Structures are given as C-alpha cells and as structure tokens.
Structure 1
Amino acid sequence: MVSLTMLVISLVLFVVRVPVSISMGIATIAGFLLLPMPINVMATRMVEGVDGFALLAVPFFILAGNLMNAGGVTEKIFAFARALFGWIHGGLAQVNIAASIIFAGMSGSALADLAGLGAVEIRAMKSAKYPVGFSAAVTLASCTIGPLVPPSIVLVIYGLATNTSIGQLFLGGVFAGLAVAGSLMVFVYLYVRITGAEWAKPEPFVVENIVRTGVGGAPALFAPVIILGSLVLGVTTPSELGAIAAGYALLVGLLYRKFTWANLKNALVNTVVMTSVIMYLFAIASAMNLIVARERIAIEIAELMVNYVQSPIAGILLINAFLLLVGMFLEGPVAILIIAPILLEVVSEFGMGPVQFGIMLSFNLLIGLITPPVGIGLFVGAKVAGTTPEKVLRASVPFFVPLFFGLALISFVPAISTWLPSLVFGVSQ
C-alpha cells in the first residue's frame, strides 16, 4: 500500500530529525513514483492546493497576532483582566486565564499568546512571588484557549482541508474556549484553596481600577467585538475578517505609540516565515491527499472502525487517544492537513458532525503543543519564564486534569460547539 509506505518513510525521516516539511515532501515524491503517476501531477496538485482566496485568512490572522504583540496590546489586556478577575482565589493565575480569553479574540495563535501575553503574565506573577514553575504552567495551559476562540488559524486550516464552513467553526469555538477556560479557573481555585498557597491570595476588587483600565484598553478590547460581530452579522468572509483584524491591530498599535521600526520589522518577518511554512505544508498535503484519496484509505478505516468498535463513546475515546498521540509528534497544521480528511469520515459514522470534530481535533493537537517529546510550547514557555522545559513540564502535569475535562466536554457534549453555529447559520451540525 503506497499510503502506508509514505507513512513509514515520513516516520523514519522524523526519527533521524529531518524537518517535517522535507520529510513530507520526500514521502510524497516516493508515493507518486510508486503508484506510478507522472511527477508533474504532483506539481500541479501543489499549486492547486494553495490557489484559494480563503487561504488569505491565514497570513492576515498571523499578522494581526504579531502586530498586537508588537503594538503593546498585551499590557492593556492584562491590566484590564487583573482589575476584573484578580479578586478570585488564585489571584494572578485567574487573571492569566482570563487575559488569554480576551487575547484569544484577537490573535488566533497559541504561540502568539504564549510568547506575547505570556511574557507580561509571567513577569507580573514573578513580581508577586508566584513560583516560576506554577506561573509557566498556568500560562502554558491557558494558551491552549487561543486557537479555539475566533479568530483561529488552526480552524481556518481545518476548514480549508475538509471543506467545512470557517464561519461555523469560528462560532463553534466560542463556547468550547469558554468551557476550557472555566475548567482551568475552577481547577486553579480548588488548587490554591486545598494547598493553602499564600502566594495566590486574591487582590482587592476596586471598581475604579476596572473603569480606568477598561477605558485605557478600550481600543484593544474592542477587537473581539468587531470580529464576533462581523461573524454573527455575516458581513465579511473569513479572509476579509483577517484583513480587518490586521488593519485594526495596526491602528491600535499606532494609537498606543508602542511600535518601533525594530518590533514592526520582526512582526512582518515572523508573519512571512510562518505563512511560508504553512503554505508549503498546504501544497504538500494537497498532493499527498490525492494519493490517500485514490487508495480509499478514509473509507477503509471508517469501515474498520464501524465493524470493530460498536459504541460511539468507545470510538470517540479511541480517536481522542490517537489524536493526543499524534499531537505529541506533529505540529497542528501538519497533523490537520494529513489526518483531518480521513478521520472526518470515521467520526461521521459515530454521529459527530464536521464542526464538533474540528473543535475536538484542534484542541487535541493544542494539548500536544504542550506535551513532550516535541511540545514546542514547553520550550517557548520555558524561555519566556527563564527556566528549563523539565521544570515547566513537572509543574504542568496537574493542569492536564482540567484540560482533559475540557476535552471531554467538547467530545461528548455536542451543543458546546454546535449550538451557536446552528443558531446563527440556521443549519444543524
């Protein structure tokens, strides 16, 4: 089977530390040669894979997140979240989670949250004598909220890979993100009450501080209103929404006068680099999926699952376990492009729609972002906190409890991710 051969080649190359993008390219070339199929078909398929207007949403949302970090938006968000949520037991840990919810409505990237907002959060927690490991762990866990709440880069990629409405996916992620955030906040509350952590005392609730930080951060805080409002009203496409988000981020940065030529240049360069990688992966995955579709892999796996796994609950648990394993080794966009079209056929047999599956798949891969052995989030979090990945991982272990609880809610309570899209778009998921 050619598809299995491509998988083996990719895994072998991963093991010997060949970059994922190159590994996928070599495996795909091998697949076309083994079929056999003219190699120029691969080139044509790659071009077709990135020839879509909807793909413009990807660079725009990446640019919006980078501009917000460069423009001083993160400080305003954290100050407002501190005034609004600092009184809850857990103090700055609760503020950390709440700030991620707000920032999630602007950037759509877990790493942008972790590197940008996370730096502000960890600095404040260090000043308040919070343990470094705990500070990094709660920041790492809360960054998984970002790509669930619109705008979301991973949901855009999933929507394009599976031909699912990106608008419906964005709205489906709203309550899913809030469910995960709520799980984390309850966990932090119970953790500090049970352990009696002196460093996690709540801060005074001062209405004047809420008003002051709300007024000062109003331009930044208004971004989620624009994004969600545009989605609900249906006045923009996802690509147009990305352009609006990037333009608004630029205006807010100019208003706060935080831009310098250096950080503006870094934002643009990082956007080009990240976009180039994602577009290349889109092109390769498009060619690879041609082979997978030709061999009817999705249909065969779906039939196998239905024949041997009779219970939908057991089937979804099995798929979640598989996705968690995949997320430990592959980056989110890569995994989505390779396996989403295949597994969508499988979960449909268990009664799960494309929107709910997209949210479940994305969150599985986000957990993988902070899980070894690859776990790039661990390394970014450790760098931001000024500690080692090993210490961050040890401190992060308890936080997998609320993350898995949130995953269970997304997986087995369809209304969390389907009610809002059904309400707005008037279609059942």
Structure 2
Amino acid sequence: MITLLLFGSFLVFLLFSVPIAISLGLASSFALLFSGKVSSTYIAQGLVTSIDSFPLMAVPFFILAGDLMGEGGLSRRLLNVANVFFGRYTGGLAVIGVVTCMFFAAISGSGPATVAAIGGLLLPAMARAGYEKGFSVGVIASAGSLGIIIPPSIPMIIYAVSANVSITEMFIAGAVPGLLIGLALILTAYIKARRAGYTGSQTRYTTKEKLATLWEAKWALLVPVIILGGIYGGIFTPTEAASIGVIYGFLVGVFVHKEIKIKSLYEVISRSALTSSTVIVIVGTATIFGRMLAIERIPFMIAESIVNLTDNPILILMMINVLLLIIGMFMETLAAIIILVPILLPVVVAVGIDPVHFGIVMILNLAIGMVTPPVGVNLFVGARVAGTSLEKASVGSIPFILAMFAMLALVTYVPWISLALVKLMG
C-alpha cells in the first residue's frame, strides 16, 4: 500500500503538471505520513542532509560559470572557430553546431544550457541558409545532450555522490564516449545534409585568418584545459575547479572581452541562482523519495527479482538500458539518477559491472532522454529558440537519436571505451 501510494500520488501530481521536484516531495510526504514508520521531521532532516555535501557545491558553481562564459561571448567565439574550419563542408552549419556544442559542453556541464547558448546563435543562421527547422533543432538538441556526457557534467557529479564513486573518475570516463557520440552526430549530420542538398559556405579562409580566429577565441579554448587539466592533474578538486571556472568566466567576460556589464551581471547571477535552486530542490526531494523506497525495501526486491531472472551481465544491461530509456522519456535527469542508483547499482555490482562504467551507461541513456518526448527538455528549448513545433523537432531528431542508440550499445558492451583512460590515469 505504501509503495502504491508513493508511486500513485507521484504520477497523479505529474499528470496535473505539478513540477517534478514538488511532485517528488509531496508523494514522499504522503507515503511517510501514511506509513507512520518515521517521524514527519524526517523530511526536513532529509532535505538538509541530502544537499549538505561538498561535492554538490560544484553544481551551482558550474551553472554560474557556464552562464558567465555564455554571456561573456565565449560561445560566440567558439562558434567562429568552428565556422572557419568546418563551415565550407556539406552541411557545414550542422557540423559547426555539433563541434561547438562539444566545446561548450566542457564549459557548461548542462544539456539545456548548451542548446540555449549555441542554438540561440546558430539556429537563426541555419534558418537563413535554408535548413529545415526540424533538422536544425534535431541536430542542436542532440548535440546539446553532450553537455551531460563530456566533462564537467552536473549529472555525473550527482551520480558520483549517489553511487559513492570518484567524481574525477567519472569525468575521465566520460571523455571518450562523449567524443565518439560527437563524431557519430557529425557523420549523421553530414549524410542528412548531403541528401538534402545543404551545401557549405563559399567563403574560404586563409591560414592567417584561421590563426586570427583561434587567437581571438584563446580564452574560450583555454577553459577545458584549465578546468579538466586541473582536475585530472590533481591540482584541485571538481568543486574547486567549478569555483575557478566562475572566477575565470567573470574576469574574461568583464575585463577581457568586456561584454558583461553590471546590469547583465545581475541578470546572469539571478538566472544561475534560479537554475541552481531548481536543481538543489530536485536533489533534496528525489533523495527523500529514494529513502522512502529504501524503507519499503523496493530496491532490494527489484534487484533480487532481476538477479533471479538472469545473472547474465549482457541481458541485465540490456534490460536496464530499456528501463532507463523509457524513464528518460518521462523523468528529469537528476531525479532519475538519485532515485534509480540505489535500485540498479546493487544489481550491476552483483554481476561484476564496474560502477564507473555503469554510471556512464546511465548518463548516456538519460542524455538520449533529453531529446525524446514527452519530457525531451533539449527539444523544448531548441524548438522554442527556432520558433518551430515540438513535433517537427522530434521528427528531425530521429536520425541523431538512432546514432546515439548505436553509440550507447557500443559503450555498454565495450567497457574499455569508458574505463581505459581511468585505468591509464590511475
């Protein structure tokens, strides 16, 4: 009955368009009050203890760093670099979108932020060049999901905290899968653009012009080197790296590029604070929801059922992939991670699957969920920026989703792809 009340009330709230963070909190409260197993103060205590974590401090810092760098003109300069090197190829603007999203992913750590920053600059240009809007949104929304795959990644931080694994190891493990997915999206965009007749730019840039564009974007190109190099080199922790990113973004935006004014600085901080508070509330209420599952021993029962069904790691990963793909269509990424990690991690560990490898598999699944309706947050953001319908954006994203499916299968069943760098860097 408690389990039915927990999930039933949660689904009812979602059907009435109650925000997912509030839905999780209310469902947990109803189930807790009905069960009477613990005091009602457990909810307040859980909300505090769930976010009382040093690693979680990286989340608001990375969000603010991404917003500062986007406002400070770094994303535009990255776009210029991609344009001079890739703009002349077939489907050049689509390829530019993927490449720029890959770079910006190493700045923002967020899928929707990547789509908003790059899409806001590129989607109007693609429309002027005659690109079909569904195709344009599909490629940018899919590439935007690299924001949670290529490190630094906010969902990776949440997974690492929930699974008690190293954030640094998660970041290292995400690098190669992120690059592979980026290459798969570029290939897909090229093939689709060639069939549709989307030619590249006729402008040819000299070596001097290319070097000048690279030099203008040097501060943007240094961001991944500073943040990821510092983390991988053991110079600072991910949380410290996030705060350094904020300072770097502020100094470059205000004093170097001089594109962040006092008024816009207030708007950037306000926007970042709103996003961060939303994330923190989701983390808190999803943690309470997960603890209610634990009280009812639901994770143990599910894990036992799966293991009794089969102990074959290949079949278990296949079933988990299907489950995660479905859940990613309906549930916000961070909430899904916090709720599902306690359920699924014991299952995969029991059959010898590395927790870091499983974390990458989970992130890839949920990244695909960001471009699959009905939630499909990247599609919503891209469609709004492009001024097109969600239906057209969904159809346009199908080839890119299929490419991501192929990379998901490869990463799932070839653990070396995500673990080789981790083992190499010790």
Report the count of equivalent residues: 424
- Whether 1:294 and 2:295 are equivalent positions in the alignment is yes
> What RMSD in Å do the two structures reach over aligned CA positions?
1.8
**Partner SS for 2:199:** helix
Give the Cα–Cα distance (whole angstroms) in 2 for the partners of residues 392 and 196 of structure 1.
Answer: 16
In the superposition, relative to structure 1, how do residues 153 and 161 fare at CA in structure 2: closer, same or farther (>3 Å)?
same
DSSP-derived class of the 1:106 partner: helix
Question: Cα distance, 1:405 vs. partner?
Answer: 1.2
Residues 259-338 of structure 1: pairs in structure 2 closer than 5 A: 259-338=260-339
Find the aligned partners of 1:83 and 1:350 in 2 and give their Cα distance.
49
Q: Who is 2:236 aligned against?
A: 236
Q: Which residue of 2 aligns with 1:207?
A: 207
The secondary structure found in structure 2 opposite 1:351 is coil
Conserved in 2, the CA contact under 8 Å of 1:87 and 1:205? no
Distance, in Å, in 1 between the alignment partners of 2:7 and 2:206 is 57
Q: How many Å apart are 1:368 and its aligned residue?
A: 1.3
CA 1:207–1:47: 2 relative to 1, 3 Å: same
Q: Which amino acid aligns with 1:360?
A: V
What CA deviation, in whole Å up to 9, does each residue of 1:99-149 have, x standing for no partner? 111111111111111111111121332333322222221111110111111
Q: Which amino acid aligns with 1:383?
A: R
C-alpha spacing 1:351/1:85, structure 2 compared with 1 (3 Å): farther
Q: How does 1:400-415 map to 2 (within 5 A)?
A: 400-415=401-416
Map Cα deviations across residues 164-183 of structure 1 (whole Å, 9 max, x no partner).
Answer: 21111111111111010011
2:208 is equivalent to residue 191 of structure 1:
no
TM-score by length of 1: 0.94
The answer to whether the 8 A contact 2:230-2:236 is kept is yes
Alignment of 1:141-156 (within 5 A): 141-156=142-157
Q: Which amino acid aligns with 2:112?
A: L
Q: Aligned partners of 2:335 and 2:251: how far apart in 1? A: 33
- The residue aligned with 1:376 is 377
1:384-416 Cα distance to aligned partner (Å, 9 max, x none): 112222221121222211111121122111112
Identify the residue that residue 391 of structure 1 maps to in structure 2: 392
Q: Structure 1 201/87 Cα, relative in aligned 2: closer, same or farther at 3 Å?
A: closer
Q: Does 1:344 align with 2:338?
A: no
Unaligned runs of 5+ in 1: none
For residues 116 and 40 of structure 2, what CA distance do their matches in structure 1 show? 41
The code of the aligned residue for 1:381 comes to: G
Corresponding residue number in structure 1 for 2:119: 118
The aligned amino acid for 2:269 is L
Identical-residue share of aligned pairs (%):
37
**Contact kept in structure 1, 2:90 and 2:199, CA below 8 Å:** no
Residue of structure 2 equivalent to 1:224: 224
Residue 22 of structure 2 corresponds to which residue in structure 1?
Answer: 22
| Distance (whole Å) between structure 2 residues aligned to residue 253 and residue 392 of structure 1 | 33
Unaligned runs of 5+ in 2: none
- Aligned equivalents of 1:205 and 1:77: distance in 2? 16
The range that moved more, 325-334 or 181-190, is 181-190
